[in-house]
Structure 1
Amino acid sequence: MRITSVLRTARAAALAMTAGLVLLGGAASPAVADSSPSAVSSEDGDAPTQAGTSFRTATEIEQGRKATANGSAGDYMYWSFPADAEQRPTVTATVQLPESTRSASSTWQLDVYDGLRRRQACQYGAQTRTAAQDADLVTLTCVLRTVRAWSEPWANDPLPGTYYVRLTTTELATADLGVPVSAMVRVDSKDMGGAAAVDGSLAEPLVPGIAVTGAENTDSDEDSTAVLSSLEPEDGWSSGWWSSRWVWTAAGGVLAALAGVAGYALTRGSGRPSRVPPPGA
């Protein structure tokens, strides 16, 4: 009888555990859905067709969209994109070289800077490549570290905000300066989830000029529009307030409670005194 009771209790605990996990998964699924800009699809006709020549004139692009530009070998090409906490951006640039024979090979480099214009190291990827004299194109890739919601002031960790992409040549023959080239840049992100969450958040994302946004103009009723980057994630800046760690913490609490109930059911007594053998038995 006791074994049957224990089995029934364990079965009830397992059913309750399954129901709790289903309810947690259903409640959390809308919040942990991919809300990064890379999930937004767009037509190629809406993609930018030019690049900036400095940080201040960088062309804004959204994640998941392709941007193209025509330029000359030896020039700097700049783009900017937003990246939020728990995202790991991947920047890919393809340079189409002219079909005419060039005088020598050329080396191209892709650099990424954050909102404070600090150069961010690539976690992996071919950030610098040399194109042979007869090459038609060269492809560069930079996979950044995961964007953190908060970091120490002395650290160089990537933080939420605007990121800049710079494409240029580092080694080029003098005779090839000014040769027309075309470039294509695309930024995608992978959501790293609660594994990359930290206990902290920024007051504001690192977007140039955001500190003076909305400042009242004493001479008129118009608000200041000093923000140099207008793009942001589709659902706004999360600043790390939500992560899947909340789901797993709640699930761990439910599992701990169910384990306690099951352990109590397995170790409790039957409620009847144990049989005492008669004297002389």
Structure 2
Amino acid sequence: MWITRLVASGATVAALALGPVTAAAADGTPSPSASEGTKAGPTEAGTSFRTAVEVGAGQRATAQASAGDYLYWSFAADAGQRPTVRARVSGGSGSRWQLDVYDGLRRRQSCVYGAAARTTESAAGDTELACTLRTVRAWAEPWANDPLPGTYYVRLTAVAPTKADLGVPVQTEVLVTAAEAGGAAAVDGTLAVPLVPGIAQEPPAGTGAEYRMAKLFSDEPADGWASGWWTDRWLWTAAGGVLAAVAGVFGYRLTRGTGRPSHLPPAA
């Protein structure tokens, strides 16, 4: 009977420890219907890295442009997230559009899956692009090209447009989402600071109202940058330790028995 109670207690502790992890994983991964950009985003795009327009996760950014323009947006990605960037271009028949994503060091990040380059078939049709990055790591070797926490840049442009396509008006949409990878993507290391460019200060005195400094990035995750030592792996480790202890006690009692050997005299 005591063995049954001990096993039940261990299972209860494991369920309490693993329950929040499972719930967090279920809630942190947005469904396709929930990630279709119901929140209004910016209605313009930048023309370079320094003038990239900020867009938050779940916001749908729109911009009117012409074939041949370079359009830039920026977003924040934290450790343990797997960002996905989707873009839609309306107009520009025959143009081949390409979607590129760069990190805070302006290194181009490869796409795990998604069509990052497509050709518009007709003037009335839409060209849909997508790029899912690798999971953002909290720390990486200096020689590695792993995605790190901080600012990411999205560049949307037509690749080698013909003279007939240059200047053709197009309507663009960009949507950024981020799925939580959980403790499975945790690494033994932390980044000292996220890769976030400096924020422009107030214009110097005497420069006039026409002076404008580039605003590189001012947004960050709502709960702060999570790059640190804590991950939900600790919960899995604690639950595994409890189950190992229960299994060890159960095995010991099963092999050694609970009664006294028959050849020993009774206790006084």
TM over 0.5: yes
Could you tell me how far 1:226 is from its partner in structure 2? 9.0
Could you tell me how far 1:29 is from its partner in structure 2? 7.7
Paired residue secondary structure (1:17) = helix
Contact 1:86 1:193 in 2 (8 A): yes
Output the CA distance in 2 between the equivalents of 1:97 and 1:199.
Answer: 47
Please tell me whether residue 262 in structure 1 is matched to residue 250 in structure 2: yes
Q: CA RMSD in A?
A: 3.0
Judged with a 3 Å threshold, the aligned counterparts in structure 2 of structure 1 residues 73 and 41 are, in CA distance, closer, same or farther, namely closer
Larger Rg: 1
Partner of 2:78: 84
The number of residue pairs the alignment matches comes to: 252
Please tell me whether residue 198 in structure 1 is matched to residue 187 in structure 2: yes
| 1:157 aligned residue (136, 141, 146) | 146
Contact 2:51 2:215 in 1 (8 A): no
Paired residue secondary structure (2:164) = helix
Judged with a 3 Å threshold, the aligned counterparts in structure 2 of structure 1 residues 227 and 245 are, in CA distance, closer, same or farther, namely farther
Amino acid corresponding to residue 70 of structure 1 in structure 2:
Q
* Superposed CA offset, 1:226-275 (max 9, x none): 97211111111001432221110010111111111111210123443336
Contact 1:146 1:158 in 2 (8 A): yes
Amino acid corresponding to residue 17 of structure 1 in structure 2:
G
Segments ≥4 residues shifted beyond 3 Å: 25-44
Amino acid corresponding to residue 209 of structure 1 in structure 2:
G
Please tell me whether residue 122 in structure 1 is matched to residue 115 in structure 2: no
Amino acid corresponding to residue 13 of structure 2 in structure 1:
G
Could you tell me how far 1:71 is from its partner in structure 2? 0.5
Output the CA distance in 2 between the equivalents of 1:26 and 1:109.
Answer: 42
Amino acid corresponding to residue 19 of structure 1 in structure 2:
T
Partner of 1:185: 174
* Superposed CA offset, 1:164-190 (max 9, x none): 000001131201211110100001111
Partner of 2:7: 14
Judged with a 3 Å threshold, the aligned counterparts in structure 2 of structure 1 residues 261 and 42 are, in CA distance, closer, same or farther, namely same
Contact 1:112 1:166 in 2 (8 A): yes
Unaligned runs of 5+ in 2: 202-212
Percent identical across equivalent pairs? 60
Partner of 2:91: 97
Partner of 1:145: 134
Could you tell me how far 1:10 is from its partner in structure 2? 2.8
Paired residue secondary structure (2:88) = strand
Contact 2:37 2:175 in 1 (8 A): no
Output the CA distance in 1 between the equivalents of 2:190 and 2:45.
Answer: 32
Could you tell me how far 1:11 is from its partner in structure 2? 0.8
Contact 1:35 1:234 in 2 (8 A): no
Contact 1:52 1:59 in 2 (8 A): yes
Judged with a 3 Å threshold, the aligned counterparts in structure 2 of structure 1 residues 27 and 111 are, in CA distance, closer, same or farther, namely closer
Output the CA distance in 2 between the equivalents of 1:129 and 1:32.
Answer: 33
Bigger drift between 86-95 and 33-42 goes to 33-42
Q: What TM-score does the superposition give when structure 1 sets the normalisation length? A: 0.80
Judged with a 3 Å threshold, the aligned counterparts in structure 2 of structure 1 residues 227 and 29 are, in CA distance, closer, same or farther, namely farther
* Superposed CA offset, 1:29-59 (max 9, x none): 8987867999999864x41000000001000
Partner of 1:71: 65
Partner of 1:244: 232
Partner of 2:204: none
Output the CA distance in 2 between the equivalents of 1:89 and 1:208.
Answer: 19
Paired residue secondary structure (1:248) = helix
Paired residue secondary structure (2:74) = strand
Contact 1:36 1:234 in 2 (8 A): no
Task: List aligned pairs for 1:166-245, cutoff 5 A.
Answer: 166-209=155-198, 228-245=216-233
Partner of 2:206: none
Please tell me whether residue 23 in structure 1 is matched to residue 16 in structure 2: yes
Amino acid corresponding to residue 18 of structure 1 in structure 2:
A
Q: What TM-score does the superposition give when structure 2 sets the normalisation length? A: 0.84
